[in-house]
C-alpha cells in the first residue's frame, strides 16, 4: 500500500500506531516514507545528525512480522521516531553535537532507546543538538556540529536549544516523535519555539544511562511530540528504574488518562503579571486568549508567585561545577578549542576554577528550594505560566542580546519556572497555545514530583478545546 499525502506525516504517534494495527500501512512502508522525508528536509534545517536507514528498515520488517501474528507490544509499535544525538546507539556515531566527538561511538544503546526498541518503535535518525547540550554557556545558535537548527515555521529563526533537532523534526513532520533532554530548558524551549508538545519528567523517573552527562543532578530525558497524549504514551514506555543510572528514582510510570480527576478538582496557581507584563508585548494577545481557555476549563485558579530564590545563579553554579568535572580531560587536552562557540570554550575553561565552597553553598540552597516547593504544592496542584517570554530568536542574533529591562516594581510571578523547576526536579509540560507574527508560542504547567498524570490530564483537556497542536508549518 502506497504512502501518500501530508496528513500522515503530521499524524500523532497514537494515530500512526492505530493505522499500522489496522493494516492501513505496514511499518516498512511508513518507515521508508519518513526516512525519505527526514533525509530530504532534515538537512535543509540542519536538524539531522545521522540517518539510520539500514537499522530502521530491518526493525520495521521485524515489527510487521509481529503484526502478522498479532503480537502487539505497545502503543508505539511501528512508529518511526528520532533521538537527540547524545543518546548512544550501537554501530553509529554519537557526536554530542560537537566536532571533537564526530566519530565517537558506543557498544551499548542508551536505556531509553533500548526500551523503545523493545516496544517496537522504529528509530530512524539521530537528531541535531547544540554541542555538549549547550553547557555551560553558548552565545550563538550555530554552536552545533550541524550548524544552526532552523525553525520550520521561519528559517530565519532558531528552533531552540539544545534539543533543537528534536523540536524541528517533530514540527516539520519528519519523525513521529522524538526524544530530547533538559538540564535547564532544553525540552521546553524548542518545543515552545517549534509549536509542539514536550514533557520534562520528574528528575530520576527516566534513566539517563547511555546519555551524555552535562550535569549529573540536573539532566533529564523526555518526549517531544505532536500531542499531550503522545507525551504520556512515550513516557509510559521510557520511564522506570535502572541500576545503570545511579540517580534513578526507581519508580515507574503508567499513563492512565481513564482515571483522571475532574478539572474542578485541580488548584492551579498563576500570576497575572506573567501574562500582562513579563511576556513580550507582541505575544500578549495570544497569551490572553490562552489564559481565557484555562479559566474556562473549570480549574480552581489561584494567584501566586514563585518562592524567592536566585534560581538562575544557582543553576549556573551547579551546572558549571558538574560540567567542569565531567569534561575535565576534554578541557585539559585542548580538545575544547575545537568547539564552534568562543564563549562556550571560555566558559568550560573557567568552570574548573569554581570554588568548591560555591558549589556546596548552591547545593545547600537548592535543598531549601526543594523544601519551599514542597510547601508551595501542599495546597496547590500545579502552576500555569507562559513557557517563554517571546517567540523564537533570529538565527543571526546572539542569544545574550539584551531584552527590555523589567520595571523595578514588577512582581516576581511564575515566569522563572524553568530554572526553578529544574533545580527542584519538578515535571513540566509545554503545549502550543497560539501564534505571534506567524511563530508559535507555548504554555507550561508544572507540578510536584511524580505528578505527571495530573499535568497530562490538564494538557489533554486544553488540547480538546484548542487546535494549536494541529497546526503545521508550510515548508519550502
Please state, in angstroms and rounded to a whole number, the distance separating the CA atoms of residues 131 and 137.
Answer: 10
Buried b (16+ CB within 10 A) or exposed e, 144-170: bbbbbbbbbbbbebbbbbbbbbbbbbb
pLDDT at 408 over 70: no
Tell me the residue range of the domain where 242 lies: 7-257
Q: Is the pLDDT reported for residue 338 higher than 80?
A: yes
| Active site annotation includes 26 | no
What mean pLDDT comes out for the span 1-15? Answer: 81
Domain total in the chain: 1
Share of the chain above pLDDT 70, in %: 98
With a cut of 70, say whether residue 471 has pLDDT above it. Answer: yes
Query: Does the pLDDT of residue 113 top 50, yes or no?
Result: yes
> In three state form, how does the secondary structure of 434-473 look?
EEECCEEEEEEEEECCCCHHHHHHHHHHHHHHCCHHHCCC
Q: How many CB atoms sit inside 10 A of residue 18's CB?
A: 14
Of 375, 388, 382, 376, the residue nearest 456 (C-alpha): 382
Q: List the one residue out of 117, 13, 108, 103 whose CA is nearest residue 55.
A: 117
Instruction: Give domain status of residue 285, yes or no.
Output: no
Q: What is the mean pLDDT of residues 387-398?
A: 97
* 129 touches 49 (CB < 8 A): yes
84 counts as catalytic: yes
What's 208's domain CATH number? 3.90.1300.10
Is the pLDDT confidence value at 403 over 80?
no
- The answer to whether position 286 is within a domain reads no
Question: How many angstroms separate the CA atoms of 65 and 70, rounded?
Answer: 9
With respect to residue 382, please indicate whether it lies within any of the assigned structural domains. no
For 284-325, the pLDDT digits (tens) are: 999 999 999 999 999 999 999 999 999 999 999 999 999 999
For residue 469, count other CB atoms closer than 10 A to its CB. 23
Active site residue: 119, 137, 163, 186, which one? 186
Does position 44 have pLDDT exceeding 70, yes or no? yes
Please determine, for residue 414, whether its predicted confidence score (pLDDT) is greater than 50. yes
pTM above 0.85, yes or no: yes
Q: What is the pLDDT of residue 38?
A: 98
The active-site residue out of 32, 84, 142, 220 is 84
pLDDT of residue 3: 54
Could you tell me if 46 and 144 are in contact, meaning their C-beta atoms sit under 8 angstroms apart?
Answer: yes
Instruction: With CA atoms as reference, report the closest residue to 125 among 196, 56, 57.
Output: 56
Distance (Å, rounded) from C-alpha 78 to C-alpha 167? Answer: 21
**Residue 50: CB partners within 8 Å, gap ≥ 6?**
85, 92, 93, 125, 126
* Res. 87: pLDDT tops 50: yes
Nearest to 381 by CA among 266, 251, 287, 284: 266
73 inside domain: yes
| Tens-place pLDDT, residues 115-169 | 999 999 999 999 999 999 999 999 999 999 999 999 999 999 999 999 999 999 9
| Domain-embedded: residue 424 | no
Query: Annotated catalytic, 162?
Result: yes
- For the chain, give the mean pLDDT: 96
The answer as to whether 137 is a domain residue is yes
Q: What is the pLDDT of residue 2?
A: 46
At 445, the pLDDT band (50, 70, 90 cuts) reads very high
- Catalytic residue, chosen from 137, 144, 162, 164, is 162
pLDDT in tens, 224-253: 999 999 999 999 999 999 999 999 999 999
Q: Helices 13-22 and 228-238: crossing angle, nearest 10°?
A: 80
Residue 410's pLDDT band, with cuts at 50, 70 and 90, is: confident
Percent helix, strand, coil in the chain, to 5, is 40, 15, 40
Residue 1, pLDDT above cutoff 50 = no
Would you say residue 297 lies in a domain?
no
What percent of the chain has pLDDT above 90?
96
**Quick check: is 21 in a domain?**
yes
Amino acid at each position: 500500500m502506497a504512502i501518500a499525502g501530508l496528513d500522515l506525516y503530521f499524524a500523532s504517534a497514537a494515530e500512526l500506531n492505530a493505522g499500522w494495527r489496522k493494516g492501513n500501512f505496514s511499518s516498512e512502508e511508513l518507515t521508508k516514507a519518513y526516512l525519505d522525508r527526514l533525509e530530504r528536509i532534515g538537512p535543509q534545517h540542519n536538524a539531522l545528525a545521522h540517518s539510520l536507514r539500514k537499522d530502521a528498515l530491518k526493525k520495521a520488517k521485524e515489527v510487521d512480522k509481529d503484526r502478522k501474528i498479532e503480537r502487539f507490544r505497545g502503543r508505539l509499535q511501528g512508529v518511526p521516531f528520532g533521538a537527540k544525538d547524545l543518546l548512544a546507539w550501537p554501530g553509529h556515531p554519537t557526536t554530542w553535537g560537537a566536532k571533537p566527538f564526530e566519530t565517537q561511538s558506543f557498544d551499548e544503546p542508551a536505556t531509553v532507546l533500548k526500551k523503545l526498541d523493545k516496544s517496537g518503535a522504529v528509530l530512524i535518525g539521530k537528531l541535531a543538538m547544540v554541542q555538549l547540550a549547550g553547557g555551560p554557556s553558548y552565545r550563538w545558535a550555530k554552536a552545533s556540529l550541524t550548524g544552526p537548527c532552523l525553525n520550520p515555521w521561519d528559517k530565519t529563526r532558531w528552533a531552540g536549544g539544545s534539543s533543537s533537532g528534536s523540536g524541528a523534526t517533530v514540527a516539520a513532520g519528519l519523525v513521529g516523535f522524538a526524544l530530547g533532554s533538559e538540564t535547564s530548558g532544553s525540552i521546553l524551549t524548542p518545543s515552545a519555539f517549534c509549536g509542539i508538545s514536550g514533557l520534562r519528567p520528574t528528575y530520576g523517573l527516566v534513566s539517563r544511562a547511555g546519555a551524555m552527562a552535562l550535569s549529573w543532578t540536573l539532566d533529564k530525558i523526555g518526549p517531544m511530540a505532536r500531542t499531550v497524549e503522545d507525551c504520556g504514551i512515550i513516557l509510559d514506555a521510557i520511564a522506570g528504574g535502572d541500576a545503570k543510572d545511579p540517580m534513578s528514582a526507581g519508580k515507574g510510570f503508567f499513563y492512565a488518562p481513564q482515571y483522571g480527576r475532574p478539572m474542578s478538582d485541580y488548584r492551579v496557581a498563576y500570576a497575572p503579571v506573567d501574562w500582562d507584563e513579563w511576556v513580550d508585548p507582541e505575544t500578549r494577545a495570544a497569551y490572553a486568549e490562552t489564559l481565557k481557555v484555562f479559566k474556562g476549563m473549570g480549574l480552581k485558579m489561584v494567584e501566586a508567585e514563585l518562592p524567592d530564590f536566585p534560581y538562575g545563579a544557582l543553576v549556573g553554579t551547579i551546572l558549571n561545577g558538574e560540567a567542569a568535572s565531567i569534561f575535565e580531560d576534554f578541557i585539559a587536552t585542548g580538545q575544547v578549542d575545537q568547539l564552534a562557540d568562543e564563549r562556550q570554550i571560555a566558559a568550560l575553561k573557567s568552570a574548573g576554577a569554581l570554588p568548591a565552597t560555591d558549589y556546596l553553598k548552591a547545593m545547600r540552597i537548592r535543598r531549601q528550594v526543594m523544601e519551599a516547593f514542597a510547601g508551595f504544592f501542599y495546597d496547590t496542584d500545579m502552576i500555569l505560566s507562559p513557557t517563554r517570554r517571546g517567540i523564537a530568536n533570529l538565527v543571526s542574533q546572539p542569544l545574550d542580546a539584551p531584552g527590555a529591562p523589567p520595571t523595578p516594581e514588577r512582581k516576581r510571578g511564575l515566569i522563572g519556572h524553568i530554572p526553578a523547576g529544574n533545580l527542584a526536579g519538578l515535571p513540566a509540560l509545554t503545549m502550543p497555545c497560539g501564534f505571534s507574527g506567524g511563530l508559535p508560542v507555548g504554555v507550561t504547567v508544572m507540578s510536584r514530583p511524580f505528578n505527571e498524570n495530573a499535568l497530562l490530564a490538564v494538557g489533554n483537556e486544553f488540547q480538546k478545546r484548542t487546535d494549536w497542536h494541529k497546526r503545521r508549518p508550510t515548508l519550502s
